[in-house]
């Protein structure tokens, strides 16, 4: 063991130096290693309240730096029940084997039995361990913490290899990549560790080309600065990423640099000393759809494309190199030479695909299996087409202009680009290429646009389709997926949702609501169910369960919405959605009206009364008459309530039919005083069955009128 003053605190540094780690997971590995190490130290009582943790991750190292780490944790008292006395001692009063076994399990095999505390009486008498336990020691804790942290790292695929030890034996090791060095420092004091077949030391390695060779880290606090100055390495992942982003923006000038977060993370994981250079490709490649060129550069080469102010791709691009030099000509020319065949491939795919119209590819969808229980892509295309046509006809009947023939044509062509070479190479371009090829084939503009729009929204916050054809086809496509996958027993469970049904359900909600489409969701689900003729699919695709699933997604969506900057409350959302609305396009109007209703002085009284009525009706076990009989109304209070309801109902019904929800809820105010008087003077559950049922019928009708917009009782 190394000799360290028990009272000292200092910064702890642990570095694992390896061969190049997987770039796509480097950031996650670095965060996980640092978090695990800090958690272990904190649990052992070796950190202070003000201790800070910094994680480092470069292509060839994972490291963690924790400030104010103690060399030894404070001692602490332990009082723990060991065994009942009747079990701990035999008839002669001698310790039994179970007692020694228990003490060993507790970590005190050499404990003097006489030092155990006896407490309790008779059958409850037991032996207790009552000692002042030694606080954790840093070196032992770090050794265990490192092994645990390495074991828990989220590594998709391990490498297995052997490391020769000092005595000549071989140790089997399993890790993401072969490890070569380990540093463990507490301040300037080395800690002795062994992990991944390696004993710890104080040396690390610099940049492969700019600072090759080893150098020592003499103090944990100097780690990042030593790597920067001696090794030409920016150790912090986030700092390196920020440097790259700033350099890209500077090099882009007046152009816009396309730098998706995933690409930035991956490039950051590939370089230790990032330097940005500008390159060019031949302008002739710009005749290819720019999405193809951009994806080629990003996916295959990790390059950053540039667009002008109008969003048009430029024929210059930026690269992030691991080499800093004043003469980068060979680096630039090498990357320009490498990207050319990639762009040539994209151009070749584009030109070849255009030789065969999308309409000639439809039949070939019959050779592509969509799902083994749901048939081919051609069968799916026909189902989506039938659903989309039904939606278009429904909207036409409701006075919303749609072109059914255009919708049917778009549905027929929408999936055909899956058979093209370009989409085969870049699946991310599905839909986008369909639009380009449909335009080339001379299809109507809206049909071509729907080939890409029907995938929208692809993710939370994504734009919705701009065209009516694209909107209808997007709803149909998502409904078909939702109902079909549900019907084969693959409804989402917990965190598992391999077919992204949650995203599809949310997309349906957004399309119906934000596009203000007066479609009935239960009817849409039934239309989709009717298209599946495979055995058992309709039975398993429970319409009520699917409706509830979609409404749950809508509930989550509404939590992020607001009126005048104030988000809707859970009670407001529940009040509206508990009514199981068939049409979703007026849900926001209902919520907005409910918010205004809540501001009325009478709202609390009406909500409480509505809840009381709900409870009365729920407890009723006998059938309630459909109509209230006026001759059976005897008391002035029930006569007054009946009259107020009769007078208010026409206006309430008209407001509901015209979707004037604010006016409807404000109209309930006239019922406030009669309702109060009714409950003050009338006993609903009268011994006379005729009077009781008549009063229940009156309350039932009142309840229906009060809940036309939302269940007001949810606000009580």
Digit-coded pLDDT (tens) for 80-112? 899 999 899 998 889 999 999 998 988 888 888
> Are 289 and 345 within one domain?
yes
Residue 313 lies in a domain: yes
DSSP letter string, 645-682: HHHHHHHHHHHHHTT-HHHHHHHGGGGHHHHHHHHHH-
The domain boundary residue, chosen from 188, 216, 231: 231
% the chain with pLDDT above 70: 99
Compute CA distances 403 → 136, 216, 440, 553, whole Å: 75, 74, 22, 30
* Averaged pLDDT for residues 104-122: 87
Looking at 295-309, 406-420, 562-576, which range is the least confident one?
562-576
Cβ pair 72, 137 in contact under 8 A: yes
Give pLDDT, residue 6: 46
What are the φ and ψ backbone dihedral angles of 214, each rounded to 5 degrees? -105, 160
Residue 585 lies in a domain: no
| Model confidence, pTM | 0.82
Instruction: Grade residue 115 by pLDDT with cuts at 50, 70 and 90.
Output: confident
Cβ pair 25, 62 in contact under 8 A: no
Helices and strands (H and E) in the chain: how many: 26, 22
* Averaged pLDDT for residues 597-612: 93
> Are 185 and 293 within one domain?
no
> Are 551 and 481 within one domain?
yes
User: Which residue reads 């420092």 in tokens?
Assistant: 185
Q: Which CATH number goes with the domain that contains 611?
A: 1.10.730.10
Closest CA to 412 of 438, 391, 392, 393: 438
Q: Which CATH number goes with the domain that contains 458?
A: 1.10.3210
494: left (phi over 0), alpha (psi -120 to 50) or beta: left
| pLDDT surpasses 70 at 4 | no
| pLDDT surpasses 60 at 7 | no
> Are 303 and 243 within one domain?
yes
Instruction: Grade residue 562 by pLDDT with cuts at 50, 70 and 90.
Output: confident
| pLDDT surpasses 80 at 490 | yes
> Are 437 and 528 within one domain?
yes
Residue 421 lies in a domain: yes
Q: Which CATH number goes with the domain that contains 181?
A: 3.30.70
Helix (H) or strand (E) holding 337: helix 329-353
| pLDDT surpasses 60 at 572 | yes
> Are 464 and 373 within one domain?
yes
| pLDDT surpasses 50 at 2 | no
> Are 495 and 346 within one domain?
no
Length of the chain: 716
Query: Helix crossing, 636-657 with 689-706: angle to 10°?
Result: 30
| pLDDT surpasses 70 at 690 | yes
Over residues 236-271, the pLDDT tens digits come to: 999 999 999 999 999 999 999 999 999 999 999 999
Instruction: Grade residue 458 by pLDDT with cuts at 50, 70 and 90.
Output: very high
**CA–CA distance, 480 with 484 (Å, rounded to integer):** 6
Give pLDDT, residue 321: 97
As beta bridge partners, residue 76 has: 133
Q: How many CA atoms lie within 13 A of 347 on its CB side?
A: 13
Compute CA distances 382 → 377, 447, 472, 477, 487, whole Å: 9, 16, 15, 11, 17
| pLDDT surpasses 70 at 531 | yes
Instruction: Grade residue 391 by pLDDT with cuts at 50, 70 and 90.
Output: very high
| pLDDT surpasses 60 at 360 | yes
* Averaged pLDDT for residues 402-427: 97
Contacting residues for 561 by C-beta, under 8 A, at least 6 apart: 567, 568, 588, 591
Give pLDDT, residue 553: 96
The domain boundary residue, chosen from 118, 133, 148: 133
Give pLDDT, residue 3: 42
> Are 448 and 527 within one domain?
yes
Q: Which two tokens stand for residue 541?
A: 């695709």
For residues 143, 146, 147, 153, the Cα torsion angle rounded to the nearest 10 degrees is 170
Domain count for the chain, please give it. Answer: 5
Over residues 135-182, the pLDDT tens digits come to: 899 999 999 999 999 999 999 899 999 999 999 999 999 999 999 999
User: Which residue reads 């999308």 in tokens?
Assistant: 358
**CA–CA distance, 61 with 495 (Å, rounded to integer):** 32
Over residues 621-638, the pLDDT tens digits come to: 889 999 999 999 989 999
> Are 476 and 534 within one domain?
yes
Over residues 402-412, the pLDDT tens digits come to: 999 999 999 99
Q: Which two tokens stand for residue 410?
A: 């778009």
Cβ pair 384, 476 in contact under 8 A: yes
**CA–CA distance, 432 with 448 (Å, rounded to integer):** 10
Over residues 224-233, the pLDDT tens digits come to: 999 999 999 9
Do the strands 179-186 and 194-195 form a parallel or antiparallel pair, or are they unpaired? unpaired
Residue 563 lies in a domain: no
> Are 227 and 322 within one domain?
no
What are the φ and ψ backbone dihedral angles of 534, each rounded to 5 degrees? -70, 145
> Are 337 and 398 within one domain?
no
Residue 93 lies in a domain: yes
Q: CA angle 525-530-531, nearest 5°?
A: 105
Residue 514 lies in a domain: yes
Cβ pair 302, 60 in contact under 8 A: no
Contacting residues for 578 by C-beta, under 8 A, at least 6 apart: 710, 711, 714
Residue 586 lies in a domain: no
**CA–CA distance, 289 with 304 (Å, rounded to integer):** 17
Question: Which residues constitute the domain of residue 89?
Answer: 76-133
Mean pLDDT (the chain) is 94
DSSP letter string, 245-300: HHHHHHHHTTSEE---HHHHHHHHTT-SS-EEEEEE--GGGGGS-HHHHHHHIIII
Cβ pair 532, 383 in contact under 8 A: yes
Does a cis peptide bond (omega within 30 degrees of 0) precede residue 457?
yes
Give pLDDT, residue 134: 85
The domain boundary residue, chosen from 107, 133, 159: 133
Residue 470 lies in a domain: yes
> Are 398 and 531 within one domain?
yes
């Amino acid at each position: 063991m190394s000799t360290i003053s028990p009272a000292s605190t200092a910064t702890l540094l642990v570095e694992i130096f390896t061969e190049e780690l997987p770039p796509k997971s480097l950031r996650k590995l670095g965060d996980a290693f640092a978090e695990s190490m800090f958690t272990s130290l904190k649990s052992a009582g070796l950190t202070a309240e003000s201790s800070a943790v910094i994680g480092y991750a470069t292509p060839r190292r994972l490291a963690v730096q924790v400030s104010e780490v103690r060399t030894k944790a404070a001692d602490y008292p332990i009082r723990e029940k060991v065994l009942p006395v009747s079990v701990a001692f035999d008839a002669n009063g001698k310790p039994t084997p179970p007692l020694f076994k228990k003490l060993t399990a507790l970590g005190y095999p050499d404990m003097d039995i006489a030092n155990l505390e006896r407490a309790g009486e008779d059958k409850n008498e037991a032996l207790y361990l009552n000692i002042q336990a030694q606080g954790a020691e840093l070196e032992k804790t770090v050794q265990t913490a490192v092994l645990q942290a390495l074991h828990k790292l989220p590594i998709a695929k391990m490498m297995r290899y052997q490391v020769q030890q000092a005595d000549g034996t071989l140790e089997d090791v399993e890790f993401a990549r072969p490890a070569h060095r380990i540093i463990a420092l507490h301040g300037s004091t080395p800690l002795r560790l062994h992990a991944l077949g390696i004993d710890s030391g104080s040396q690390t390695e610099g940049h492969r080309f700019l600072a090759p060779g080893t150098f020592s880290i003499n103090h944990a606090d100097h780690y990042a600065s030593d790597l920067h100055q001696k090794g030409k390495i920016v150790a912090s992942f986030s700092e390196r990423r920020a440097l790259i982003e700033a350099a890209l923006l500077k090099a882009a000038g007046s152009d816009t640099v396309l730098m998706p977060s995933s690409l930035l993370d991956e490039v950051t994981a590939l370089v230790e000393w990032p330097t940005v250079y500008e390159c060019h490709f031949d302008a002739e490649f710009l005749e290819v759809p720019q999405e193809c060129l951009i994806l080629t550069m990003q996916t295959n080469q990790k390059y950053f494309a540039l667009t002008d102010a109008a969003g048009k791709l430029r024929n210059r691009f930026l690269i992030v190199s691991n080499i800093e030099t004043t003469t980068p000509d060979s680096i630039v020319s090498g990357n320009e030479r490498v990207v050319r065949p990639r762009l040539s491939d994209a151009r070749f795919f584009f030109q070849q695909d255009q030789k065969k119209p999308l309409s000639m590819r439809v039949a070939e969808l019959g050779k592509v299996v969509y799902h083994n229980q749901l048939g081919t892509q051609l069968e799916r295309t026909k189902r989506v087409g039938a659903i989309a046509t039904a939606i278009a006809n429904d909207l036409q009947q409701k006075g919303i202009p749609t072109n059914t023939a255009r919708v049917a044509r778009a549905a027929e062509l929408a999936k055909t680009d899956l058979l093209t070479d370009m989409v085969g190479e870049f699946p991310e371009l599905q839909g986008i290429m369909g639009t380009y090829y449909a335009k080339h084939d001379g299809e109507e503009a809206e049909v071509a646009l729907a080939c890409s729009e029907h995938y929208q929204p692809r993710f939370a916050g994504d734009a919705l389709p701009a065209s009516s054809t694209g909107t209808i086809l997007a709803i149909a496509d998502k409904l078909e997926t939702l109902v079909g996958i549900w019907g084969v027993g693959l409804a989402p469970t917990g965190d598992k949702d391999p077919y992204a049904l949650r995203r599809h359900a949310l997309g349906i909600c957004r399309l119906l609501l934000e596009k203000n489409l007066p479609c009935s969701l239960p009817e849409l689900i039934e239309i989709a169910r009717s298209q599946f003729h495979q055995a058992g699919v309709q039975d398993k695709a429970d319409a009520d369960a699917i409706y509830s699933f979609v409404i749950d997604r809508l509930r989550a969506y509404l939590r992020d919405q607001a009126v005048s900057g104030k988000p809707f409350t859970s009670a407001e959302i529940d009040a509206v959605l508990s009514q199981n609305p068939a049409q979703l396009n007026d849900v926001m109007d209902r919520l907005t009206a409910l918010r205004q209703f809540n501001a009325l002085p009478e709202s609390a009284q009406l909500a409480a009364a509505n809840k009381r009525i709900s409870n009365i009706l729920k407890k009723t076990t006998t059938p309630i008459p459909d109509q209230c009989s006026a001759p059976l109304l005897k008391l002035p209070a029930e006569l007054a309530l009946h009259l107020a309801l009769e007078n208010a109902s026409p206006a309430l019904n008209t407001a509901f039919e015209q979707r004037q929800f604010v006016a409807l809820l404000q109209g309930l105010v006239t019922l406030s005083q009669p309702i109060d008087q009714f409950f003050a003077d009338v006993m609903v559950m009268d011994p006379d069955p005729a009077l009781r049922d008549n009063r229940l019928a009156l309350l039932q009708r009142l309840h229906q009128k009060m809940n036309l917009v939302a269940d007001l009782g949810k606000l009580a």
